[in-house]
Amino acid sequence: MSPQVEDKYFASIFNVVAKIFATVSIVLLAAHLGGNVVAQNVGEVYREAGRLCDQGGGCYGRGNFSEGISFFSKAADLYKSINDTSRLVGCYQTLGNGFQMINHSDSSLYYYDQALELSVKSNDTTSMANCYMLLGSEAFNRGFTKLAEEHLRKASQLDWAISDDGHLSQTLCRLGFVYIDYADSTKSLRDLQLSKQYFTESLRLQTATNYSSIAGIDANVGLANIYIVLADFCDKPQYADSSLLYYQASLKPSGFGNYSHSLASQAYVKYLIYKKEYHEALDFMNVEQSFFAQSKIHKVSYHTMLSNLYEKTGDYRLALEHSHIVNTLQRQINSEENTRATAKLEAAKAAAVEHEKFEKAEIQRKQLRTFALALIFGLGFVTVLVVFFFFMARTRKLSNRILSEKNTILNSQKDEIAAQKDIIVKQMREVESVNDKLFSSIDYARRIQRATVTSLDVIKSLFHDSFLFFCPRDMVSGDFYRAVKCGRYSVMIIADCTGHGIPGALLSMLGISALKEYCNSEVDAKDPGSVLDKMRAFIKSTLSNQGDKFIDDGMDMTICSFDFANMKLRYATANQVAYILRGDETIKLKGDNMPIGHYVREKKHFRTFTVDIQRGDMVYMFTDGIQDQVGGPDQKRLTREQLLLTFSKIAQKPCEEQADIIENTIFEWKGDNAQVDDMTMVGIRV
C-alpha cells in the first residue's frame, strides 16, 4: 500500500469513529472544554517557551549557537501558536543573531525581516528601530554598505522619535563604522570627520544614559579605529596617541563581544604598524590567533591584517599567501556558506509547515481520544489504536521525506566541493603565472633603474678617493644618487624618496630625470638651494592633488658642490644632514628641515650654505634607511650617534677599506632581521 493510499485509509477510519461519538458527546464536550482549561493550556505554553529561551540563552553564552538556535526555534513556534507577537519578535531577532554568528547570512536576514514585518503590523516602534539596526549591521557585514546606511538611518530616526537615547547610541556607533568603510574607499577627510562625530556622540549618549554595564566599548573601539586612520591620513602622530587611549579605554569594562574584539584588535595592529613596531604587531597577532579562528568572518580580519603587516615588513611572499587565504575565505562565505544556508532555510521552512499541520492534527486526535475514553471504554480503545497507526504513518512519511531532502543536499554539496577544488587549483596556477610575470617585470625595472644612476667609474673620475654603499631594500630602490661635473664644481647628490620598492622607484626616476635638467651647469651647481627649489616645484606640480585626495609624497635630498680649486663646499639639504670629519673634529652640515614636496611648514626657498674644506677632510652623505635599521643585541635602531662613532674610527683609513668596514658594520647589526628601508652612503676624501 502506497503512503498516499495508506494516509487516506487511516484518515477515513478516523473520520468514521469521530462521527460516531461526536454526536453523543457534544454537550459534554462543550462543558469540559471551558475557558478554565484553555487558560491552563496557555499558561503551560508560556512556561515551556520561557524554559526553552533560558536553555537557548545558556547555549549562546557558551558559544554553542547551533544548539541555541534549536531551542529558540521551538520557543518561537510556541509563541506563534498563542499569537504573542511581542515575544515572537524577540525570538526572531535572537534567531537572526545566532545565524549571524555561524555565518548563515541568508537565514539571519530572513528572521530579521520576519521580526520587522511583525513589528510594523503591531506598530511597535521600539522593535522596529531594533530590527532596522540589526538589518543594517548584517548588511554591513556582507559588504552592502549603502544598504546598511539606509537601514541604520531609519533606526536612528525611530530612536530619536521615541527618545530612546541608549539604543540611539548603538545605532550611531554602527553608522560610524559605515563611514569608516566609505572613507576606506574614497580617502575623503569629510567621511572620516563624519565617522568621528558619530562615535563621539554615541559615546556621550552611552555614558549619559548608562545604557549598559559595558557602555562605551563599541564607541571607544570605533574612535580607536578612526583616530589611527586620521593619523595616517593627516600624518599627525597625536591622532595615533588618541587611538591608543581609546583602545585602552575599550579594554576596561568586561563583556567584550566578538565583533568589538575583532575591531579593537585591528585598531591596535594599525597603531603598531603606524609606529613601525612590526615585530610587536606580529607578536600581538600570534596571541590573538585562537580568537580569530572562531569563525570565518574573524579569520578574514585576521589574515587581512597579516597580509598588510607582511607587506609593510617587505615579506611580499607571506603577504601574497595571506591575501590568497582572504580571497578564498571571502568566496566561501559569499558562495558556499550562503548557498548552504539558503538550502537549509528552505528545508526548515518546509519542515515548519509540515510540523504545524501535524501539531494541529495531533491536538484534534488527543481531544477526540480523551472524550472517547470518558464515554465508552471500548470505543476509546479503538480510537487510540486508530490514532496510533495514523501517527506512525505520518511520522514514517515525514521521516522519509526529510531523509530524501538531506541526501539531495549532501549530493549537491559533494558536487559543489569538487567544483570549488577545481576552481582553487586553477586560481593557484593563475597566481603563480602572475607572480612569475611580476618578478620578471620588476627585475627588468631594476636593470633600467641601475642604468639611470651614475656609474661607479664616473664617481671615481670626479672624486678619486671615495666609496659608494648602495643597498636597496627590494629589487628596485627609492634611494638614488647622481654625480656630475658642472664647470669648476664636482657635484655629488643623494636622495631618499617616499616609500621603497616600486612606488619609491617611480619617484626616484622622476627625481633623476628632473636633476638632469635642473643641475647641469656651473650656475646651478653654485646655488644648490635653487636646484632644490626647482625640484620641489616640479614634484608638487607633477604629483598634484586629485579632488580631495591629498598626495604628500616627495623626497629628501642633499646636494654637495665641491670647488677644489678654491677649497670651498657649497651645499643644500632637504630634510637630511651630512658630516665632515677633520682629524678629531666632527662638522655637521645641516640645512633645511623640510622635504621636497608638499609640507605644512615649508619655507619659501631652500638655503645654500658655504663651508671651507681642507685637504684630507672626509665628507659623509647618507640616507636615513641606515640609521633606522633594527638589529643589535637589543633589537633597536642603528642610531645616527653610532654611525658618527664609526666614522670617527675609520675616517683616516683609505676609502676602499672604509667601504668594507661600513658594509660589515651594517650587516652585522642587521643580523637575521628584515631590512626596513633602502640604504645609501657616499664617502668623499677631499
Q: Exposed e or buried b for every residue in 232-263, given b needs 16+ CB within 10 A? A: ebeeeeebbebbbebbebbeeeeeeeebbbbb
Q: Residue 30 carries which side chain, given as an amino acid letter?
A: A
Confidence of residue 546 (pLDDT cuts 50, 70, 90): low
Asked which of 52-56, 239-243, 663-667 is least confident by mean pLDDT, the reply is 239-243
Q: How far apart are CA 580 and CA 569, in angstroms?
A: 11
pLDDT exceeds 80 at position 70: yes
Tell me the HSE value of 167 on the side-chain side, using a 13 A CA sphere. 23
Instruction: Give the residue, 642 or 141, on which the prediction is more confident.
Output: 642
Confidence of residue 536 (pLDDT cuts 50, 70, 90): very high
Letter for the amino acid at 425? V
Structure confidence at residue 264 (pLDDT): 78
pLDDT digits (tens, 9 = 90+) for 481-527: 999 999 999 999 999 998 888 888 999 999 999 999 999 999 999 99
pLDDT tens across 299-323, in order? 777 888 888 888 888 888 888 888 8
Q: Is the pLDDT of residue 633 over 70?
A: yes
Q: At what angle do helices 125-141 and 165-186 cross, to 10 degrees?
A: 20
Instruction: Map grid coordinates 606580529 to a residue.
Output: 282
Q: Cell 596571541: give the residue.
A: 287
> How would residue 24 be classed by pLDDT, with cut points 50, 70 and 90?
very low
Is the pTM higher than 0.85? no
Burial 374-396, CB ≥16 within 10 A → b, else e: eebeebbeebeebbeebeebbee
Angle at 517 between CA 512 and CA 521, to 5 degrees: 115
Q: Which residue has the higher pLDDT, 105 or 217?
A: 105
pLDDT 10s digits, 450-492? 889 999 999 999 999 999 999 999 989 999 999 999 999 999 9
The DSSP result for 77-102, as a single string, is: HHHHHTT-HHHHHHHHHHHHHHHHHT
384-392 average pLDDT score: 76
Q: What domains lie within the chain, and their CATH numbers? A: 34-146 (1.25.40.10), 455-685 (3.60.40.10)
Instruction: Summarize pLDDT for 561-605 with one digit per residue, the tens.
Output: 999 999 999 999 999 999 999 999 999 999 999 999 988 889 999
| 59: pLDDT strictly greater than 60 | yes
Torsion of CA 150, 155, 156, 157, to 10 degrees: 90
* d(C-alpha 126, C-alpha 144), whole Å: 24
Please give the Cα distance from 319 to 285 (Å, whole number). 14
What pLDDT, on a 0 to 100 scale, did the predictor assign at position 279? 84
Please enumerate in sequence order all residues whose Cβ is within 8 A of that of 65, keeping only pairs 6 or more positions apart, or say none. 59, 98, 99, 101, 102
Nearest Cα to Cα of residue 555 among 608, 604, 513 = 513
Share of the chain above pLDDT 70, in %: 83
Question: How far is 478 from 474, CA to CA, in rounded Å?
Answer: 9
Q: Are 496 and 623 in contact (CB under 8 A)?
A: yes
Q: Which residues pair with 556 in a beta bridge?
A: 496
Q: Within 13 Å of residue 249, how many CA atoms lie on the same side as its CB?
A: 19
Q: What is the pLDDT of residue 145?
A: 85
Distance (Å, whole) CA 421 – CA 334: 16
Relative orientation angle of helices 105-121 and 125-141, to the nearest 10 degrees: 160
CA 533/CA 518 separation, integer angstroms:
10
Residue 560 β-bridge partners: 492, 571
668: CB partners within 8 A, 6+ apart: none
